Amino acid sequence: MKENFRDFEATELFCPRCRRAVPVRKRLFLILSSGEKYDYTCVYCGMSVGEKTSSDGSSPQVF
pLDDT, tens digit, for every residue of 2-54?
Answer: 666 667 789 999 999 999 999 999 999 999 888 899 999 999 999 999 999 88
The three-state (H, E, C) secondary structure of 30-57, written as one string? EEECCEEEEEEEECCCCCEEEEEEEECC
pTM: 0.74
Q: Which class in CATH covers the domain with range 12-55?
A: mainly beta
Q: How far apart are CA 53 and CA 63, in angstroms?
A: 8
Compute the distance between CA of residue 32 and CA of residue 17 in angstroms, rounded to an integer: 29
**Res 57 pLDDT > 70:** no
Higher model confidence: residue 19 or residue 63? 19
